[in-house]
Amino acid sequence: MEHTKCLIIGSGPAGYTAAIYASRANLSPIEYCGMQPGGQLTQTTEVENFPGYPQGVDGNQMMMDLREQAERFGTDIRDGEIVKVDFSKTPYICTAEDGTEIEADTVIIATGASAKYLGLDDEQKYNGQGVSACATCDGFFYRKKNVAVVGGGDTACEDALYLAGLATKVYLIVRKPFLRASHVMQQRVKECGNIEILFEHVPVGLFGENGVEGAHLIKRKGEPDEEQVDIAIDGFFLAIGHKPNTDIFREWLDTDETGYLKKVDNTPRTKLPGIFVAGDCADPVYRQAISAAGSGCQAAIEAERYLLNR
User: What is residue 43's predicted lDDT score, i.e. its pLDDT?
Assistant: 66
Nearest CA to 149 among 110, 179, 183, 187?
179
Mean pLDDT on 35-58: 82
Mean predicted confidence (pLDDT) in 256-285: 96
Least trusted range by pLDDT, from 3-7, 89-93, 116-120, 142-146? 116-120
Nearest C-alpha neighbor of 256 from the set 241, 273, 239, 237? 241
**pLDDT at position 128:** 85
pLDDT at 95: 98
What residue type is 125 in one-letter code?
K
Read off the pLDDT of each residue in 35-50 and give the average, rounded to a whole number: 77
CA distances from residue 62 to 53, 133, 137, 310 in whole angstroms, order as listed? 9, 19, 14, 35
Residue-wise pLDDT tens digits, 194-220: 999 999 999 999 999 999 999 999 999
Span of 53-57, 170-174, 263-267 with lowest mean pLDDT: 53-57
Residue-by-residue DSSP string for the chain = -EEEEEEEE--HHHHHHHHHHHHHTT---EEE-BSSTTGGGGG-S-B-SSTT-TT-B-HHHHHHHHHHHHHHTT-EEE-B-EEEEE-SSSSEEEEETTS-EEEEEEEEE---EEE-----HHHHHTBTTTEES-HHHHGGGGTTSEEEEE--SHHHHHHHHHHHTTSSEEEEEESSSS--S-HHHHHHHHH-TTEEEEETEEEEEEE-SSS--EEEEEETTTSTT-EEEEEE-SEEEE-S-EEES-GGGTTTS-B-TT-PBPPSTTSSB-SSTTEEE-GGGG-SS---HHHHHHHHHHHHHHHHHHHHH-
The mean predicted confidence, pLDDT, of the chain is 94
Burial label, 104 (beta-carbon count in 10 A; 0-12, 13-18, 19+)? buried
> Among all residues, which ones are annotated catalytic?
134, 137-138
